[in-house]
């Protein structure tokens, strides 16, 4: 059973930085896509950034140039470095892994950016 656990969320002032981590266990596929999503109150969950097993990354337009997704496949970790944070980045952030035959989500971590 694949399990994902996020950490690193918190409260930060506008312009500040946070780094989220996602620890992944139980995955058995080497061909996977790992991603960060977020969900703000009253809004749908949206894709923030993804990284493939080959290292290809992709970002939502609103975070390009501010957020960086990276992975350590050897340690089964994924990170989201978030810089120049804005109040509009306030949300619960989730990590997700798509493997062969499965999709797994973490429980989420709250990020609050105060103006």
Condensed to tens digits (0 to 9), the pLDDT of residues 90-99 reads: 999 999 999 8
Nearest by Cα to 70 from 31, 107, 8, 22: 22
Local structure of 2: helix, strand or coil: coil
Which residues 6+ apart lie within 8 Å of 109 measured at CB? 6, 7, 8, 9, 20, 92, 93, 94
Condensed to tens digits (0 to 9), the pLDDT of residues 17-68 reads: 999 999 999 876 566 899 999 999 999 999 999 999 888 999 999 999 999 9
Q: In this structure, what are the phi and psi dihedrals at residue 22, rounded to the nearest 5 degrees?
A: -130, 115
pLDDT value of position 31: 62
H or E element that contains 19? strand 18-25
């Amino acid at each position: 059973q694949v399990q994902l656990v996020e950490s690193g969320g918190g409260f930060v002032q506008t312009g500040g930085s946070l780094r989220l981590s996602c620890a992944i266990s139980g995955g058995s596929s080497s061909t996977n896509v790992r991603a960060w999503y977020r969900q703000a109150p009253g809004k749908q969950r949206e894709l923030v950034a993804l990284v493939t097993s080959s290292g290809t990354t992709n970002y939502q337009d609103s975070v390009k140039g501010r957020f960086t997704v990276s992975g350590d496949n050897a340690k089964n970790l994924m990170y989201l470095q978030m810089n120049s944070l804005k109040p509009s980045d306030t949300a619960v952030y989730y990590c997700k892994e798509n493997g062969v035959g499965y999709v797994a989500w973490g429980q989420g971590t709250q990020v609050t950016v105060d103006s």
